[in-house]
Structure 1
Amino acid sequence: MLHLSGLYRYPLKSGAAEPLQGTQLDSLGVQGDRRWMVVDAQSGRFITQRLLSTMNRITARWQNAEQLLLSAPGMPDLPVAVPQGDGDLRGVHIWRDSLRVPDAGDAAAQWLSQFLQRDCRLVYVAPERARQIDPVYAEIGQKVAFPDGFPLLLIGQASLEDLSRRVGRDLEMLRFRPNLVVQGSEPYGEDSWKRIAIGGIEFKVAKGCSRCIMTTLDPVTGERSADREPLTTLKTYRQIEGDVFFGQNLIALSSGQLELGMPVEVLE
Protein backbone atom coordinates (compact mmCIF):
# COMPACT_ATOMS: atom_id res chain seq x y z
CA MET A 1 0.00 0.00 0.00
CA LEU A 2 1.23 3.48 -0.83
CA HIS A 3 1.92 5.56 2.26
CA LEU A 4 3.68 8.75 3.33
CA SER A 5 7.09 7.69 4.65
CA GLY A 6 8.93 11.02 4.75
CA LEU A 7 7.90 14.58 5.56
CA TYR A 8 10.28 17.55 5.51
CA ARG A 9 10.35 21.32 5.56
CA TYR A 10 13.10 23.85 4.98
CA PRO A 11 12.27 27.04 6.90
CA LEU A 12 15.22 28.81 5.23
CA LYS A 13 15.65 28.31 1.50
CA SER A 14 18.83 26.21 1.03
CA GLY A 15 19.23 25.73 4.79
CA ALA A 16 19.23 22.36 6.56
CA ALA A 17 16.17 20.13 6.31
CA GLU A 18 13.77 19.64 9.22
CA PRO A 19 12.25 16.13 9.44
CA LEU A 20 8.63 16.18 10.61
CA GLN A 21 6.24 13.62 12.07
CA GLY A 22 3.27 15.74 11.05
CA THR A 23 2.49 19.17 9.71
CA GLN A 24 -0.27 21.48 8.65
CA LEU A 25 -0.60 22.45 5.01
CA ASP A 26 -1.58 26.04 4.34
CA SER A 27 -2.02 28.10 1.17
CA LEU A 28 1.75 28.01 0.49
CA GLY A 29 2.37 24.31 1.12
CA VAL A 30 3.98 22.87 4.27
CA GLN A 31 3.39 25.42 7.01
CA GLY A 32 6.55 27.48 7.51
CA ASP A 33 8.40 25.97 4.55
CA ARG A 34 10.86 28.26 2.77
CA ARG A 35 9.33 31.44 4.08
CA TRP A 36 12.84 32.88 4.62
CA MET A 37 15.55 33.49 2.02
CA VAL A 38 19.08 34.86 1.87
CA VAL A 39 19.71 37.49 -0.79
CA ASP A 40 22.71 39.47 -1.97
CA ALA A 41 22.75 42.77 -0.08
CA GLN A 42 23.40 44.87 -3.19
CA SER A 43 21.45 43.18 -5.96
CA GLY A 44 18.69 41.45 -3.99
CA ARG A 45 19.39 38.28 -5.99
CA PHE A 46 18.57 35.07 -4.13
CA ILE A 47 21.46 32.97 -2.79
CA THR A 48 21.38 29.19 -2.50
CA GLN A 49 23.73 26.23 -2.10
CA ARG A 50 24.36 26.40 -5.85
CA LEU A 51 26.57 29.40 -5.06
CA LEU A 52 27.46 28.85 -1.39
CA SER A 53 27.44 25.18 -0.38
CA THR A 54 28.03 26.18 3.27
CA MET A 55 24.39 27.25 3.46
CA ASN A 56 23.53 23.65 4.27
CA ARG A 57 25.29 24.12 7.63
CA ILE A 58 22.70 26.71 8.66
CA THR A 59 19.86 25.30 10.74
CA ALA A 60 16.70 27.42 10.86
CA ARG A 61 13.91 26.28 13.18
CA TRP A 62 10.61 27.89 14.00
CA GLN A 63 10.31 28.52 17.75
CA ASN A 64 6.73 29.66 17.34
CA ALA A 65 4.70 31.34 14.63
CA GLU A 66 6.49 34.65 15.21
CA GLN A 67 10.15 33.71 15.62
CA LEU A 68 12.87 31.75 13.85
CA LEU A 69 16.09 30.51 15.49
CA LEU A 70 19.25 30.47 13.35
CA SER A 71 22.14 28.16 14.27
CA ALA A 72 25.43 27.34 12.54
CA PRO A 73 28.84 25.91 13.53
CA GLY A 74 30.96 28.47 15.35
CA MET A 75 28.11 30.98 15.57
CA PRO A 76 25.90 31.97 18.51
CA ASP A 77 22.25 31.09 18.10
CA LEU A 78 20.23 34.03 16.83
CA PRO A 79 16.48 34.47 17.28
CA VAL A 80 14.88 36.38 14.41
CA ALA A 81 11.39 37.84 14.72
CA VAL A 82 8.98 37.63 11.82
CA PRO A 83 8.92 41.18 10.37
CA GLN A 84 5.71 43.00 11.17
CA GLY A 85 3.98 45.22 8.65
CA ASP A 86 5.54 46.67 5.52
CA GLY A 87 7.94 49.13 7.10
CA ASP A 88 11.19 47.86 5.58
CA LEU A 89 10.53 46.26 2.21
CA ARG A 90 13.39 45.05 0.05
CA GLY A 91 13.29 44.33 -3.66
CA VAL A 92 14.43 40.75 -4.30
CA HIS A 93 14.80 38.51 -7.34
CA ILE A 94 14.25 34.76 -7.50
CA TRP A 95 14.61 33.29 -10.98
CA ARG A 96 12.27 35.37 -13.18
CA ASP A 97 10.24 36.78 -10.31
CA SER A 98 10.84 40.17 -8.73
CA LEU A 99 8.98 41.11 -5.56
CA ARG A 100 9.16 43.34 -2.53
CA VAL A 101 9.25 41.58 0.84
CA PRO A 102 10.13 42.52 4.43
CA ASP A 103 13.79 42.57 5.47
CA ALA A 104 14.57 40.74 8.74
CA GLY A 105 16.90 43.43 10.08
CA ASP A 106 20.58 44.17 10.59
CA ALA A 107 21.32 41.56 13.28
CA ALA A 108 20.27 38.70 10.99
CA ALA A 109 22.13 40.25 8.05
CA GLN A 110 25.35 40.58 10.08
CA TRP A 111 25.06 37.02 11.40
CA LEU A 112 24.57 35.53 7.93
CA SER A 113 27.22 37.76 6.32
CA GLN A 114 29.77 36.66 8.91
CA PHE A 115 29.04 32.96 8.49
CA LEU A 116 28.73 32.98 4.70
CA GLN A 117 31.56 35.48 4.17
CA ARG A 118 29.40 37.46 1.80
CA ASP A 119 27.39 40.66 2.21
CA CYS A 120 23.80 39.46 2.40
CA ARG A 121 20.37 40.06 3.90
CA LEU A 122 17.58 37.84 5.22
CA VAL A 123 14.05 38.36 3.91
CA TYR A 124 10.65 36.89 4.75
CA VAL A 125 7.50 36.31 2.71
CA ALA A 126 3.93 36.22 4.03
CA PRO A 127 1.05 34.72 2.01
CA GLU A 128 -0.15 38.11 0.81
CA ARG A 129 3.26 38.79 -0.82
CA ALA A 130 3.88 35.32 -2.23
CA ARG A 131 4.52 34.65 -5.93
CA GLN A 132 2.05 33.34 -8.45
CA ILE A 133 2.88 29.78 -9.53
CA ASP A 134 3.56 29.52 -13.26
CA PRO A 135 0.03 29.82 -14.73
CA VAL A 136 0.90 27.15 -17.30
CA TYR A 137 0.56 24.69 -14.41
CA ALA A 138 -1.59 26.49 -11.85
CA GLU A 139 -4.74 28.53 -11.43
CA ILE A 140 -4.49 32.27 -10.91
CA GLY A 141 -4.29 32.82 -7.16
CA GLN A 142 -2.30 29.67 -6.41
CA LYS A 143 0.87 30.96 -4.78
CA VAL A 144 4.35 29.82 -3.75
CA ALA A 145 6.75 31.26 -1.17
CA PHE A 146 10.52 30.91 -1.84
CA PRO A 147 10.84 27.41 -3.40
CA ASP A 148 12.22 27.55 -6.92
CA GLY A 149 8.80 27.20 -8.54
CA PHE A 150 6.27 25.01 -6.75
CA PRO A 151 5.05 24.66 -3.15
CA LEU A 152 5.70 20.92 -2.75
CA LEU A 153 8.07 18.26 -4.05
CA LEU A 154 7.31 14.52 -3.90
CA ILE A 155 9.74 11.65 -4.49
CA GLY A 156 9.06 7.91 -4.42
CA GLN A 157 11.37 5.94 -2.14
CA ALA A 158 11.67 3.26 -4.82
CA SER A 159 12.92 5.87 -7.29
CA LEU A 160 15.79 6.79 -4.97
CA GLU A 161 16.61 3.12 -4.41
CA ASP A 162 16.73 2.50 -8.16
CA LEU A 163 18.99 5.53 -8.66
CA SER A 164 21.28 4.37 -5.84
CA ARG A 165 21.59 0.97 -7.50
CA ARG A 166 22.54 2.58 -10.81
CA VAL A 167 25.10 4.89 -9.17
CA GLY A 168 26.54 2.04 -7.10
CA ARG A 169 26.18 3.55 -3.64
CA ASP A 170 23.40 4.54 -1.27
CA LEU A 171 22.23 8.10 -1.86
CA GLU A 172 20.61 10.30 0.75
CA MET A 173 17.05 11.40 0.03
CA LEU A 174 17.91 14.88 1.29
CA ARG A 175 20.18 15.47 -1.71
CA PHE A 176 16.90 16.06 -3.53
CA ARG A 177 15.17 18.13 -0.81
CA PRO A 178 11.64 16.70 -1.03
CA ASN A 179 8.73 17.68 1.18
CA LEU A 180 6.95 14.35 0.75
CA VAL A 181 8.35 10.84 0.34
CA VAL A 182 6.03 8.02 -0.71
CA GLN A 183 6.76 4.36 -0.15
CA GLY A 184 5.14 1.39 -1.89
CA SER A 185 5.18 2.52 -5.50
CA GLU A 186 7.25 1.21 -8.40
CA PRO A 187 10.39 3.18 -9.27
CA TYR A 188 9.32 6.43 -10.94
CA GLY A 189 5.68 5.49 -10.51
CA GLU A 190 5.06 9.10 -9.50
CA ASP A 191 5.87 10.17 -13.07
CA SER A 192 2.47 8.92 -14.26
CA TRP A 193 0.35 10.39 -11.46
CA LYS A 194 -1.87 13.38 -12.19
CA ARG A 195 -3.84 13.68 -8.95
CA ILE A 196 -3.29 12.08 -5.57
CA ALA A 197 -4.86 12.32 -2.11
CA ILE A 198 -3.19 12.06 1.30
CA GLY A 199 -5.21 12.30 4.48
CA GLY A 200 -8.20 13.79 2.70
CA ILE A 201 -6.07 16.47 1.00
CA GLU A 202 -6.04 16.40 -2.78
CA PHE A 203 -2.93 17.34 -4.73
CA LYS A 204 -2.37 18.17 -8.37
CA VAL A 205 0.83 16.66 -9.79
CA ALA A 206 1.98 19.67 -11.79
CA LYS A 207 5.23 18.66 -13.53
CA GLY A 208 8.49 16.82 -13.10
CA CYS A 209 11.23 18.51 -11.09
CA SER A 210 14.32 19.43 -13.13
CA ARG A 211 17.52 18.87 -11.17
CA CYS A 212 20.73 20.86 -10.88
CA ILE A 213 24.22 20.76 -9.40
CA MET A 214 22.79 20.84 -5.86
CA THR A 215 22.11 17.11 -6.11
CA THR A 216 25.89 16.54 -6.11
CA LEU A 217 26.28 18.17 -2.67
CA ASP A 218 26.49 16.01 0.43
CA PRO A 219 23.44 17.12 2.48
CA VAL A 220 25.46 17.04 5.72
CA THR A 221 28.91 18.36 4.78
CA GLY A 222 28.09 20.38 1.68
CA GLU A 223 31.01 18.78 -0.18
CA ARG A 224 30.58 18.17 -3.90
CA SER A 225 30.96 14.63 -5.18
CA ALA A 226 34.08 14.38 -7.32
CA ASP A 227 32.28 12.17 -9.85
CA ARG A 228 29.34 14.60 -10.10
CA GLU A 229 26.95 11.90 -8.98
CA PRO A 230 24.03 11.39 -9.01
CA LEU A 231 23.63 13.98 -11.77
CA THR A 232 25.97 12.09 -14.10
CA THR A 233 23.87 8.91 -13.89
CA LEU A 234 20.55 10.75 -14.04
CA LYS A 235 21.62 12.29 -17.35
CA THR A 236 21.92 8.82 -18.87
CA TYR A 237 18.24 7.93 -18.46
CA ARG A 238 16.25 10.87 -17.01
CA GLN A 239 17.18 13.67 -19.42
CA ILE A 240 14.55 15.27 -21.64
CA GLU A 241 15.43 18.14 -23.98
CA GLY A 242 18.46 19.05 -21.88
CA ASP A 243 16.77 18.95 -18.47
CA VAL A 244 17.24 16.13 -15.95
CA PHE A 245 14.11 15.14 -14.00
CA PHE A 246 13.73 13.41 -10.63
CA GLY A 247 10.61 13.78 -8.47
CA GLN A 248 7.32 15.56 -9.06
CA ASN A 249 6.17 19.07 -8.16
CA LEU A 250 2.78 19.23 -6.45
CA ILE A 251 0.13 21.83 -5.72
CA ALA A 252 -2.17 21.18 -2.76
CA LEU A 253 -5.79 21.91 -3.62
CA SER A 254 -6.85 22.38 0.02
CA SER A 255 -5.35 22.78 3.49
CA GLY A 256 -5.26 20.16 6.22
CA GLN A 257 -3.03 17.96 8.37
CA LEU A 258 -0.44 15.47 7.14
CA GLU A 259 1.09 12.71 9.27
CA LEU A 260 3.71 10.07 8.53
CA GLY A 261 2.13 6.74 7.69
CA MET A 262 -0.95 8.21 6.03
CA PRO A 263 -2.15 6.23 2.99
CA VAL A 264 -1.55 7.78 -0.42
CA GLU A 265 -4.28 7.31 -3.02
CA VAL A 266 -3.68 7.81 -6.74
CA LEU A 267 -6.86 9.45 -8.06
CA GLU A 268 -5.73 9.86 -11.66
Structure 2
Amino acid sequence: MSLPPRVSAINVFPVKSCGPMALEAAEVAPSGLMGDRRFLVTDADGGFVTGRRIPAMTRIQPHFDGQCLRLEAPGMPSLAVDTDTLAPRYSDVTVWRDTVAAQSCGDDADAWISECLGGRYRLGFMGPQSHRATKGRPDQPLGFADRFPLLGVSRESVNALNDRLARAVTALHFRANLVIDGGEAFQEDGWAEVRIGEAVFEVVAPCSRCVFTTVDPQRGEAAADREPFRTLAGFRRDDSGKVHFGQHLVPRITGTVRVGDCVEVLARKPKPRYVDRMAAT
Protein backbone atom coordinates (compact mmCIF):
# COMPACT_ATOMS: atom_id res chain seq x y z
CA MET A 1 0.00 0.00 0.00
CA SER A 2 1.48 3.33 -1.05
CA LEU A 3 2.00 6.14 1.45
CA PRO A 4 -0.04 9.36 1.18
CA PRO A 5 1.78 12.08 -0.76
CA ARG A 6 3.86 14.56 1.23
CA VAL A 7 6.34 17.31 0.39
CA SER A 8 9.87 15.92 0.57
CA ALA A 9 11.79 18.88 -0.88
CA ILE A 10 11.25 22.61 -1.41
CA ASN A 11 13.46 24.36 -3.94
CA VAL A 12 13.78 28.06 -4.66
CA PHE A 13 15.67 29.18 -7.77
CA PRO A 14 16.51 32.87 -7.13
CA VAL A 15 18.17 33.27 -10.55
CA LYS A 16 16.37 31.68 -13.48
CA SER A 17 18.30 28.61 -14.72
CA CYS A 18 20.93 28.80 -11.98
CA GLY A 19 21.23 26.44 -9.03
CA PRO A 20 18.60 25.87 -6.32
CA MET A 21 18.32 26.71 -2.67
CA ALA A 22 16.86 23.80 -0.70
CA LEU A 23 14.58 25.00 2.11
CA GLU A 24 12.76 23.36 4.99
CA ALA A 25 9.92 25.90 4.71
CA ALA A 26 8.91 28.64 2.29
CA GLU A 27 6.32 31.38 2.07
CA VAL A 28 3.92 31.17 -0.84
CA ALA A 29 3.04 34.51 -2.47
CA PRO A 30 0.64 35.01 -5.39
CA SER A 31 3.68 35.03 -7.73
CA GLY A 32 5.09 31.79 -6.29
CA LEU A 33 7.59 30.93 -3.57
CA MET A 34 9.15 34.01 -2.01
CA GLY A 35 12.49 34.71 -3.70
CA ASP A 36 11.92 32.30 -6.58
CA ARG A 37 13.11 33.41 -10.02
CA ARG A 38 13.35 37.07 -9.07
CA PHE A 39 16.64 37.48 -10.95
CA LEU A 40 17.31 36.90 -14.63
CA VAL A 41 20.37 36.66 -16.86
CA THR A 42 20.02 38.37 -20.23
CA ASP A 43 22.22 38.90 -23.23
CA ALA A 44 23.33 42.34 -24.37
CA ASP A 45 20.05 42.76 -26.27
CA GLY A 46 17.86 41.96 -23.25
CA GLY A 47 16.91 38.45 -24.35
CA PHE A 48 16.64 35.99 -21.46
CA VAL A 49 19.37 33.36 -21.19
CA THR A 50 18.79 29.90 -19.71
CA GLY A 51 20.52 26.58 -19.26
CA ARG A 52 19.12 25.45 -22.60
CA ARG A 53 21.69 27.79 -24.13
CA ILE A 54 24.39 27.74 -21.43
CA PRO A 55 24.22 24.51 -19.38
CA ALA A 56 26.98 25.73 -17.03
CA MET A 57 24.49 28.18 -15.50
CA THR A 58 23.23 25.37 -13.25
CA ARG A 59 26.59 25.42 -11.42
CA ILE A 60 26.02 28.97 -10.18
CA GLN A 61 24.86 28.58 -6.57
CA PRO A 62 22.73 31.23 -4.83
CA HIS A 63 22.47 32.11 -1.15
CA PHE A 64 20.37 34.74 0.61
CA ASP A 65 21.32 36.89 3.58
CA GLY A 66 18.21 38.97 4.11
CA GLN A 67 17.70 40.94 0.91
CA CYS A 68 21.29 40.35 -0.19
CA LEU A 69 21.83 37.67 -2.83
CA ARG A 70 25.24 36.01 -2.94
CA LEU A 71 26.27 34.02 -6.01
CA GLU A 72 29.11 31.51 -6.10
CA ALA A 73 30.53 29.64 -9.08
CA PRO A 74 33.58 27.42 -9.68
CA GLY A 75 36.73 29.49 -10.18
CA MET A 76 34.98 32.78 -9.40
CA PRO A 77 34.96 35.11 -6.38
CA SER A 78 31.54 35.41 -4.81
CA LEU A 79 29.18 38.18 -5.89
CA ALA A 80 26.89 40.03 -3.47
CA VAL A 81 23.81 41.88 -4.74
CA ASP A 82 21.91 43.95 -2.18
CA THR A 83 18.48 44.62 -3.67
CA ASP A 84 17.81 47.35 -1.08
CA THR A 85 20.59 49.52 -2.52
CA LEU A 86 20.08 49.01 -6.27
CA ALA A 87 19.82 52.16 -8.35
CA PRO A 88 16.37 52.75 -9.94
CA ARG A 89 17.73 51.89 -13.38
CA TYR A 90 15.45 49.74 -15.53
CA SER A 91 15.61 48.32 -19.04
CA ASP A 92 13.29 46.10 -21.03
CA VAL A 93 14.03 42.37 -21.10
CA THR A 94 12.16 39.61 -22.88
CA VAL A 95 10.99 36.32 -21.40
CA TRP A 96 9.43 34.32 -24.22
CA ARG A 97 6.79 36.72 -25.58
CA ASP A 98 6.69 38.95 -22.51
CA THR A 99 8.53 42.26 -22.22
CA VAL A 100 9.38 43.22 -18.64
CA ALA A 101 11.12 46.26 -17.18
CA ALA A 102 13.91 44.67 -15.13
CA GLN A 103 15.96 46.55 -12.58
CA SER A 104 19.71 46.52 -13.23
CA CYS A 105 21.82 44.78 -10.61
CA GLY A 106 24.73 47.08 -11.46
CA ASP A 107 27.93 47.09 -13.45
CA ASP A 108 29.78 44.81 -11.03
CA ALA A 109 27.06 42.16 -11.32
CA ASP A 110 27.08 42.43 -15.12
CA ALA A 111 30.87 42.04 -15.17
CA TRP A 112 30.69 39.03 -12.84
CA ILE A 113 28.04 37.16 -14.82
CA SER A 114 29.81 37.99 -18.09
CA GLU A 115 33.11 36.58 -16.86
CA CYS A 116 31.40 33.54 -15.36
CA LEU A 117 29.53 32.64 -18.56
CA GLY A 118 32.11 33.85 -21.07
CA GLY A 119 30.27 36.55 -22.99
CA ARG A 120 28.39 39.83 -22.63
CA TYR A 121 25.57 39.29 -20.17
CA ARG A 122 23.56 41.25 -17.64
CA LEU A 123 21.85 40.44 -14.36
CA GLY A 124 18.37 41.87 -13.85
CA PHE A 125 15.99 41.91 -10.89
CA MET A 126 12.21 41.92 -10.56
CA GLY A 127 12.22 45.31 -8.84
CA PRO A 128 9.45 47.55 -7.51
CA GLN A 129 8.72 48.90 -11.00
CA SER A 130 8.78 45.46 -12.65
CA HIS A 131 5.44 43.92 -13.54
CA ARG A 132 4.54 40.64 -15.23
CA ALA A 133 1.34 38.60 -15.20
CA THR A 134 0.67 34.91 -15.68
CA LYS A 135 -0.47 34.12 -19.21
CA GLY A 136 -4.24 34.38 -19.47
CA ARG A 137 -4.49 35.54 -15.84
CA PRO A 138 -3.88 39.31 -15.73
CA ASP A 139 -4.49 39.46 -11.97
CA GLN A 140 -1.96 36.70 -11.19
CA PRO A 141 1.57 38.17 -10.80
CA LEU A 142 4.54 36.22 -12.09
CA GLY A 143 8.29 36.53 -11.70
CA PHE A 144 10.74 35.32 -14.35
CA ALA A 145 9.41 31.72 -14.39
CA ASP A 146 8.49 30.39 -17.82
CA ARG A 147 4.69 30.22 -17.61
CA PHE A 148 3.25 29.76 -14.12
CA PRO A 149 4.25 30.58 -10.53
CA LEU A 150 5.26 27.09 -9.31
CA LEU A 151 6.16 23.65 -10.57
CA GLY A 152 5.56 20.37 -8.76
CA VAL A 153 7.07 16.95 -9.49
CA SER A 154 6.35 13.56 -7.95
CA ARG A 155 9.36 11.49 -6.94
CA GLU A 156 7.38 8.36 -7.84
CA SER A 157 7.07 9.74 -11.36
CA VAL A 158 10.83 10.32 -11.44
CA ASN A 159 11.33 6.73 -10.28
CA ALA A 160 8.99 5.45 -13.02
CA LEU A 161 11.05 7.37 -15.57
CA ASN A 162 14.29 5.98 -14.13
CA ASP A 163 12.95 2.46 -14.60
CA ARG A 164 13.21 3.16 -18.34
CA LEU A 165 16.63 4.83 -18.27
CA ALA A 166 20.11 3.38 -18.34
CA ARG A 167 21.37 6.35 -16.28
CA ALA A 168 19.18 7.60 -13.47
CA VAL A 169 18.19 11.25 -13.12
CA THR A 170 16.98 13.18 -10.09
CA ALA A 171 14.06 15.49 -9.43
CA LEU A 172 16.47 18.42 -9.81
CA HIS A 173 16.72 17.68 -13.53
CA PHE A 174 13.17 19.03 -13.71
CA ARG A 175 13.75 22.14 -11.58
CA ALA A 176 10.64 21.70 -9.47
CA ASN A 177 9.77 23.96 -6.56
CA LEU A 178 7.91 21.19 -4.75
CA VAL A 179 8.94 17.53 -4.81
CA ILE A 180 6.21 15.15 -3.64
CA ASP A 181 6.85 11.69 -2.18
CA GLY A 182 4.26 8.95 -1.76
CA GLY A 183 1.28 7.77 -3.75
CA GLU A 184 1.42 6.48 -7.30
CA ALA A 185 3.54 7.53 -10.25
CA PHE A 186 1.89 10.27 -12.34
CA GLN A 187 -0.95 10.66 -9.84
CA GLU A 188 -0.43 14.42 -10.21
CA ASP A 189 -1.81 14.23 -13.77
CA GLY A 190 -5.28 13.92 -12.26
CA TRP A 191 -5.06 16.64 -9.63
CA ALA A 192 -7.08 19.84 -10.13
CA GLU A 193 -6.67 21.50 -6.72
CA VAL A 194 -4.49 20.63 -3.71
CA ARG A 195 -3.89 21.93 -0.22
CA ILE A 196 -0.30 21.87 1.04
CA GLY A 197 0.33 23.29 4.49
CA GLU A 198 -1.38 26.67 4.70
CA ALA A 199 -1.56 27.12 0.92
CA VAL A 200 -4.06 25.98 -1.68
CA PHE A 201 -3.00 25.56 -5.30
CA GLU A 202 -4.83 25.14 -8.58
CA VAL A 203 -3.10 22.50 -10.70
CA VAL A 204 -3.42 24.33 -13.98
CA ALA A 205 -1.42 22.49 -16.65
CA PRO A 206 1.24 19.87 -17.26
CA CYS A 207 4.75 21.20 -17.79
CA SER A 208 5.99 20.97 -21.37
CA ARG A 209 9.57 19.77 -21.22
CA CYS A 210 12.55 20.58 -23.43
CA VAL A 211 16.26 19.81 -23.78
CA PHE A 212 16.96 21.57 -20.47
CA THR A 213 16.02 18.25 -18.84
CA THR A 214 19.19 16.77 -20.36
CA VAL A 215 21.44 19.12 -18.34
CA ASP A 216 23.05 17.49 -15.31
CA PRO A 217 22.40 20.03 -12.53
CA GLN A 218 25.64 19.22 -10.68
CA ARG A 219 28.03 19.06 -13.63
CA GLY A 220 26.38 21.75 -15.75
CA GLU A 221 26.66 19.64 -18.90
CA ALA A 222 24.05 18.43 -21.37
CA ALA A 223 23.83 14.68 -22.01
CA ALA A 224 24.99 13.76 -25.50
CA ASP A 225 22.31 11.05 -25.73
CA ARG A 226 19.57 13.63 -25.00
CA GLU A 227 18.33 11.68 -22.00
CA PRO A 228 15.96 11.81 -20.23
CA PHE A 229 14.12 13.94 -22.78
CA ARG A 230 14.44 11.26 -25.46
CA THR A 231 12.78 8.63 -23.26
CA LEU A 232 10.12 11.05 -22.01
CA ALA A 233 9.18 11.76 -25.62
CA GLY A 234 8.57 8.04 -26.05
CA PHE A 235 5.82 7.76 -23.45
CA ARG A 236 4.79 11.25 -22.27
CA ARG A 237 4.07 13.01 -25.57
CA ASP A 238 0.58 14.31 -26.26
CA ASP A 239 -1.23 14.46 -29.60
CA SER A 240 0.18 17.93 -30.32
CA GLY A 241 3.74 16.70 -29.89
CA LYS A 242 4.44 18.30 -26.50
CA VAL A 243 6.32 16.24 -23.92
CA HIS A 244 4.92 16.55 -20.40
CA PHE A 245 6.40 15.90 -16.97
CA GLY A 246 5.36 17.60 -13.72
CA GLN A 247 2.52 20.04 -13.08
CA HIS A 248 2.26 23.82 -12.97
CA LEU A 249 0.65 25.28 -9.85
CA VAL A 250 -1.07 28.63 -9.25
CA PRO A 251 -1.59 29.76 -5.64
CA ARG A 252 -5.21 30.31 -4.64
CA ILE A 253 -4.55 30.73 -0.91
CA THR A 254 -1.10 31.85 0.22
CA GLY A 255 0.76 30.81 3.35
CA THR A 256 3.64 28.63 4.51
CA VAL A 257 4.59 25.24 3.08
CA ARG A 258 7.02 22.93 4.85
CA VAL A 259 8.89 19.74 4.13
CA GLY A 260 6.69 16.96 5.50
CA ASP A 261 3.40 18.70 4.74
CA CYS A 262 0.69 16.37 3.46
CA VAL A 263 -0.72 16.96 -0.02
CA GLU A 264 -4.50 16.96 0.29
CA VAL A 265 -6.27 16.57 -3.04
CA LEU A 266 -9.31 18.86 -3.00
CA ALA A 267 -10.45 18.31 -6.59
CA ARG A 268 -9.57 15.99 -9.43
CA LYS A 269 -9.70 16.10 -13.24
CA PRO A 270 -9.45 13.50 -16.00
CA LYS A 271 -5.90 12.43 -16.71
CA PRO A 272 -4.56 13.20 -20.19
CA ARG A 273 -3.95 10.29 -22.53
CA TYR A 274 -0.37 9.48 -23.52
CA VAL A 275 0.57 6.74 -25.96
CA ASP A 276 3.47 4.61 -24.77
CA ARG A 277 5.46 4.41 -27.99
CA MET A 278 8.19 2.44 -26.21
CA ALA A 279 5.95 -0.37 -25.00
CA ALA A 280 6.86 -2.69 -27.87
CA THR A 281 10.62 -1.94 -27.75
Match of 1:227 in 2: 225
Match of 2:164 in 1: 166
Equivalent position SS for 1:33:
coil
Q: How many residues align?
A: 263
Amino acid at match of 1:134: K
Q: CA deviation at 1:57?
A: 1.4
Q: Give, in whole Å, the separation in 1 of the partners of 2:216 and 2:90.
A: 34
Match of 2:24 in 1: 21
Contact 2:86–2:105 (CA<8 Å) still a contact in 1? no
Instruction: Indicate whether 1:45 and 2:43 are aligned.
Output: no
Equivalent position SS for 2:253:
coil
Contact 1:28–1:127 (CA<8 Å) still a contact in 2? no
Match of 1:193 in 2: 191
Q: CA deviation at 1:130?
A: 3.2
Q: Give, in whole Å, the separation in 2 of the partners of 1:67 and 1:49.
A: 24
Q: Give, in whole Å, the separation in 1 of the partners of 2:262 and 2:180.
A: 9
Q: Give, in whole Å, the separation in 2 of the partners of 1:89 and 1:254.
A: 31
Q: Unmatched 5+ residue regions in structure 1?
A: none
Q: Unmatched 5+ residue regions in structure 2?
A: 268-281
Instruction: Indicate whether 1:256 and 2:259 are aligned.
Output: no
Q: Give, in whole Å, the separation in 1 of the partners of 2:169 and 2:103.
A: 37
How much is the aligned-residue C-alpha RMSD, in angstroms?
1.4
Q: CA deviation at 1:129?
A: 2.3
Q: Give, in whole Å, the separation in 1 of the partners of 2:22 and 2:94.
A: 28
* CA displacement 1:216-242 (0-9 Å, x = unmatched): 111100122121111111111111111
Amino acid at match of 1:28: S
* CA displacement 1:146-172 (0-9 Å, x = unmatched): 111111000111100000001133211
Contact 2:7–2:181 (CA<8 Å) still a contact in 1? yes
Match of 1:102 in 2: 103
Contact 1:167–1:233 (CA<8 Å) still a contact in 2? yes
Q: CA deviation at 1:97?
A: 0.1
Q: How does 1:81-92 map to 2 (within 5 A)?
A: 81-82=82-83, 87-92=88-93
Q: Give, in whole Å, the separation in 1 of the partners of 2:128 and 2:152.
A: 22
Contact 2:81–2:109 (CA<8 Å) still a contact in 1? yes
Q: CA deviation at 1:134?
A: 1.0
Q: How does 1:240-251 map to 2 (within 5 A)?
A: 240=238, 241-251=240-250
Identity %: 38
Equivalent position SS for 1:142:
strand
Equivalent position SS for 2:64:
strand
Match of 2:139 in 1: 141
Match of 2:277 in 1: none
Contact 1:27–1:127 (CA<8 Å) still a contact in 2? no
Q: Give, in whole Å, the separation in 2 of the partners of 1:3 and 1:26.
A: 20
The structure 1 segments of at least 4 consecutive aligned residues displaced by more than 3 Å after TM superposition are 83-86
Match of 2:118 in 1: 117
Equivalent position SS for 2:243:
strand
Contact 1:6–1:182 (CA<8 Å) still a contact in 2? yes
Q: Give, in whole Å, the separation in 2 of the partners of 1:152 and 1:54.
A: 23
Greater displacement, 144-153 / 126-135: 126-135
Equivalent position SS for 1:101:
strand
| TM-score normalised by L of structure 1 | 0.94
* Partner residue of 2:38 out of 30, 35, 38: 35
Equivalent position SS for 1:197:
strand
Match of 1:5 in 2: 8
Contact 1:196–1:264 (CA<8 Å) still a contact in 2? yes
Match of 1:214 in 2: 212
